[in-house]
Amino acid sequence: MGDNKPLFCLSEELKRQVQRRKQEIDKGDLTDDLRLKDVRPLVAPVPLQYFDPAQLPGIREYLGLRQSVEMLGVKDPFFRVHEGIPGATTRIGGKEYLNFSNYNYLDLNGHPEVQDAACEAIGRYGTSASASRMVSGERPLHSQLEHALADFLGTEDCVALVSGHATNVTVIGHLFGPRDLILHDALAHNSVLQGALLSGAKRLSFPHNDWQALDDMLRSMRAGFERVLIVVEGLYSMDGDYPDLPRFVEIRERYKTFLLIDEAHSIGVMGTTGRGIAEHFGLPRSSADFWMGTMSKTFSGCGGFIAGQGLIVDYLRHTAPGFLYSVGMSPPLAAAALKSLEILQREPERCRALRRVGRQFLKLCKAEGLDTGLSAGLSIVPIIVGSSMGAMSLSSKLFDRGLNVQPIFAPAVEERQARLRFFLCSEHTDAQLEATVKAVAAGLAG
């Protein structure tokens, strides 16, 4: 093969290093097991903070917060183990608590029919789809659930994914790119922010629910981008309020943008029959391009979905990375969601009961002078405490009195907006609500 040059050519300096190491080994100065390591080129020293896991960004702040909590002497409110099916009440550590820390809005998680459907699915299909649906993970329950959701919402099609968070990330990240603009509410969910980051699009927020500010932004910026996506939520999980959706729809039409409505917390809660914010305002589904939702609230399972125009949904089904390269939804979870949807349509009175509970709780809070922020009194009512340590302390006091409610503090919200966040469900009773509000008022006073 010509000049027979060696496959690897060493530099003169490296040759000298190798020769020196070999001489040292021959003299017994180095052991044979160091031979390979010592002939490798030397590298510049790397500062400890660049390879020490304890010095990753955010770790120091996290440890400082934990230390502050320990100094305050309050119990850690997170990762509490529930020993049954959480609803209006729950069992923790062998004790029963009034429960305001779960998304079981319509009390369908644990419903006998839902459990039976999940068990039947396990018996027929097992516990896992075991593959991406496109490859070999498709089960009849998947398409049945998607068709049922599309019919329920009044859209052409729907695709279900294994994670609500991943639904926003993969859809936004996949459909939009560097020449596009994403405008989202300042209180949008983390999944929206992560999807925008993945897309590479220009991302800007507008003040919470401020359609006029959004209009001003688009008036000056629309011409500078190809596609524009506006993202709002049907019901905001931190504040329990909702946008004036007709205003945003009008902006979408005037500026020729895309509109995504995140209905994770509004499906089953808003609208006469629980069909969400579109039903609440009497708007057609053509008012937005993407209707996103989750299975973990009203539908007693886990996962997410995107509903909308048939062509776009089918495109996502065949190309969206978060769907294409992920295992299909677990059969028992798909069955639970499908059965929950069936019960919701059969028993719309559950939605009415939830709305009554929400109104009553908000009324009681206001009567006690509690700051409920922007809440509309649906399924989510915050009580603003005003400091992170105050929210932690109040949550601990209430837990000692048999109430389970989580604190929300900086950086999830601004320090002065630190709060307790109450998730309500259709089976909370008036007596439970009254006792809770009195306990909160007493805890704040003392």
Give me the CATH number covering residue 130.
Answer: 3.40.640.10
Regarding whether 333 and 363 lie in a shared domain, the answer is no
Query: What are the start-end ranges of the E strands in 283-376?
Result: 290-294, 304-308
| pLDDT on residue 36 | 52
| pLDDT on residue 5 | 43
Structure tokens, 174: 């996949």
Q: Point out the domain boundary residue: 346, 375, 406.
A: 346
Structural domain total, the chain: 2
Regarding whether 214 and 335 lie in a shared domain, the answer is yes
Residue 49 lies in a domain: no
| pLDDT on residue 4 | 46
Q: Is beta strand 419-423 parallel, antiparallel or unpaired with respect to 406-408?
A: antiparallel
Residue 212 lies in a domain: yes
Regarding whether 358 and 220 lie in a shared domain, the answer is no
Q: Point out the domain boundary residue: 346, 372, 402.
A: 346
Regarding whether 270 and 121 lie in a shared domain, the answer is yes
| pLDDT on residue 37 | 54
Q: Is beta strand 181-185 parallel, antiparallel or unpaired with respect to 228-233?
A: parallel
In whole angstroms, give the CA distance from residue 252 to residue 166.
25
Q: Point out the domain boundary residue: 303, 324, 346.
A: 346
| pLDDT on residue 146 | 98
Regarding whether 253 and 282 lie in a shared domain, the answer is yes
Handedness of CA 327, 328, 332, 337 (dihedral sign): positive
Residue 402 contacts residue 385 (beta carbons within 8 Å): no
Residue type for position 358: G
Residue 53 lies in a domain: no
Please report which helix (H) or strand (E) contains residue 358, including its range. Answer: helix 349-367
Regarding whether 308 and 164 lie in a shared domain, the answer is yes
Exposure of 138 by Cβ count < 10 A (0-12 exposed, 13-18 middle, 19+ buried)?
middle
Query: Which residues on neighbouring strands pair with residue 304, listed in sequence order?
Result: 161, 294
Tens place of pLDDT for every residue, the chain, 446 residues? 444 444 444 556 655 665 666 666 566 554 545 555 555 666 788 888 888 888 888 888 888 877 877 777 777 788 899 999 999 999 999 999 999 999 999 999 999 999 999 999 999 999 999 999 999 999 999 999 999 999 999 999 999 999 999 999 999 999 999 999 999 999 999 999 999 999 999 999 999 999 999 999 999 999 999 999 999 999 999 999 999 999 999 999 999 999 999 999 999 999 999 999 999 999 999 999 999 999 999 999 999 999 999 999 999 999 999 999 999 999 999 999 999 999 999 999 999 999 999 999 999 999 999 999 999 999 999 999 999 889 999 999 999 999 999 999 888 889 999 999 999 999 999 999 999 999 999 999 87
Regarding whether 87 and 69 lie in a shared domain, the answer is yes
Give me the CATH number covering residue 395.
Answer: 3.90.1150.10
| pLDDT on residue 66 | 78
- If we measure between CA atoms, which residue out of 230, 201, 234 comes closest to residue 214? 230
Query: What are the start-end ranges of the E strands in 67-201?
Result: 89-92, 95-99, 157-161, 181-185
Regarding whether 371 and 333 lie in a shared domain, the answer is no
Mapping DSSP to helix (H, G, I), strand (E, B) and coil, where does residue 200 land?
coil
Instruction: List the end-to-end C-alpha distance of the chain, in Å, as a whole number.
Output: 90
Regarding whether 272 and 378 lie in a shared domain, the answer is no
Regarding whether 342 and 215 lie in a shared domain, the answer is yes
| pLDDT on residue 78 | 86
- If we measure between CA atoms, which residue out of 423, 394, 424 comes closest to residue 407? 394
Residue 28 lies in a domain: no
Regarding whether 379 and 237 lie in a shared domain, the answer is no
| pLDDT on residue 18 | 58
Regarding whether 187 and 330 lie in a shared domain, the answer is yes
Domain extent, residue 86, equals: 61-99+348-445
Handedness of CA 101, 116, 164, 229 (dihedral sign): negative
